[in-house]
Chains A and B, each alone.
Chain A
Amino acid sequence: QIDVEHGRGAWKTYGDVKNYTMGKYQIKTFNKISTIGLGRFPTDEYEIRAEDAANAHAILLRSHKLKEEEIPKTCRAIARCGAGTNNIPVDRMSELGIPVFNTPGANANAVKELAICGMLLGSRRVIDGINHMSDLGKQGLAKERVEKDKALFGGRELAGKTLAVIGLGHIGSLIAHSSQGLGMTLKGYDPCLSINSALRLPREMDLTDSIVSAVADADYISINIPYIKGEGGTHGIVGKDVIDHFKPGAVLLNFARGELVDSEAMKEFLDSSNGRYVSDFPEDLLWNHENCIVLPHLGASTEEAEDGAAAMAAETIRDFLETGTIRNSVNFPDTSLLDRPKDSIRFTVVNKNVTGMLAHITEAFAEANMNIIQQINHSRGPIAYNVLDCATSNDDVLSFKH
């Protein structure tokens, strides 16, 4: 087994393989990461630091807003414990050739449970009622007034109502399943439905060909799509044209991203009927509206999701650092080369996706008299990624220059 030290400090030119002793990978964390998740890094090979990690090989974070200056030059991977990567400058990372990973599905059950709670909170005035009981309690009037006042907080049931789910990935499909279990009729919309996602959906779901046709007959609407900035993105996608098609009294659930909903348009809707907006993102315009319920961003705030996401992120980083495998990346192509054969050295190369690079790379190996046993090349957008396993003979001096 040949182990090559992944050095600290400045880049080195590798010399004689026999001189290098094994060191540890360094992982820098932002935010409090679950110790169960961090436990996935074997302590004899990894050290984890929240501070003083100037030579970190990889970064692990939750919702910390990552700035470019916080990323050491040694960093070769960034993993987000969560689904959305809006807090990471992903495009810049692609320019620098640094893969950004996320943990799709790790938080799904946590978000689903909160969304179901949101649906129920939007059906009877539960929160207003609880706060009212608290006020009555202070006045010693709770028992006296409870039966009379409860009429102010009643509402309706979910059973028999229609739920439209916009976005049918991990979270959307779980919400669909649970809602169906509660007796709801389902409609769904997802223009990019993959086979894997489709297999996860309940069979009795009516798929529509637009957001508007999904929401038109819905009593409840759940938006579960990623937030993508810029042109052709999803900013304000639930805007006037969509909201104009809501049934009066409809309940909109947004446990995806605040920016997906146009607050002005939502305000008009909430003013005009007994509809509701339930979200776990802050709302500058609607936070105080009687028909709006704003939770803290708790979608993934469960022990289980934190453990699951951290564990998934840790495994993803380990795979990347130890084998060069890429999965769950938001900017790099999925890449997996078979196990590295004995007595071979694995190289990975990240390059801009321009013509001729693969030829240049393999030529460099040929000039270095290194035989490529197996290799894989994948590209995605502006980035291309290569994994190559090269044969070694015992006394070779390796040099690699580009």
Chain B
Amino acid sequence: MLWRSFPPYQIMKKGIWFFSIVLCPYLLLQQTNGQTLEQSHQIGNIEGNVGDVLEDDPVGSLKVFVYELPSKYNEDLVEKDPRCLTHMFAAEIFMHRFLLSSPVRTLDPEKADWFYVPVYSTCHLTKSGLPLPFRSPQMVRSAIQQIASNWPYWNRTEGADHFFVVPHDFGACFHYQEEIAIKRGIMPLLQRATLIQTFGQKNHVCLKEGSIVITPYASPQRMQAHLLPPYIPRTIFVYFRGLLHDGINDPEGCHYARGARASLWLNFKNNPLFDISTYHPTTYYEDMQRAVFCLCPLGWAPWSPRLVEAVIFGCIPVIIADDIVLPFADAIPWEDIAVFVAENNVPKLDTILTSMPTEVILRKQKLLANPLTKQAVTFSEPAQPGDAFHQLLNGLARKLPHDGSIYLKPGEKILNWTAGPVEDLNPW
């Protein structure tokens, strides 16, 4: 009872009333403001924003140290064969160039969260421009030997805070043929490192836990050069250009693309709604902009730059690849943008596509028209906020902070430097 007559209490009581009378409406206002903001954001969402995740800025969330390897691992290969800059595996080269001048780069390795090893493992090309993977494991191994001997950071964690860009067909399995890639498995030395690759398939040997799946490289300048104004009417219902039957490597069929592409051809070659063929016209990009659906079936590997091209040109991708893991899946809502068709359902593809309600198709087109989505799948030059480089760094930033257990005790060794096929142990 005494405390009631205590003067500060009186003031306090008055104060409480005062604050509640003044603050409540203010708080309510804030709430409603927040709500309207959220609402407008949500309305913005319905209009076309695909999510806040796309707009995350990696600068400030992580620091990357770029190893300075001798140029025989990177620059020299590009000089020898500049085709490496335009093929679909060029992400490794552009990632290196981006990181060299990016604000996330740090020159002090003690401050770095992630370490980047710039080795262009896909830059040995045949005469026809296809990469040979036979020397890639040797090259990567040699690079790791270099960094292990010149810097202490590899041995500190045996690569657990290092990342490599391996954009080849089956990632770090370093082979283009799936059976052999599965047999080889991921290169033993890269078991602990984070792999950034274009290949992604659930429960597959060549996709390990913690890998970041990125989009394949498609030249943004080339695509910009072929842009049509958006009012050109979309008159092609389904469009596809590409190999339907690999006569060289799979002459009997039934093997390439798990039979899906052959099935497409056999079921729909007479269908006027389907514009599918192997002939690659010069107006390929313009045709994609005049099509409503662009097919992205698997080939020898489930991924293809077709997906990137379809997103950029506003054509709804129809993904025919069972268990595929799509790039930047936490940032881009692929289920809302693309149409997924099981490989078994390819014969019913026309029924599936024509029975889609028009509102669903319109909504997908609206989401595709969002410039943020298009930005997220391009490796733009120079780098823009929200582009594929940023999404990649966001992916790395989300894996931070590193668990303490990655740091090895002195003398502890986990990786087996002699594991793997014998050819890989050859010096490069």
The reply to whether chain A is a binding partner of chain B is no
Residues of chain A having any CB pair with chain B under 8 Å: none
**B residues touching A (Cβ–Cβ < 8 Å)?**
none
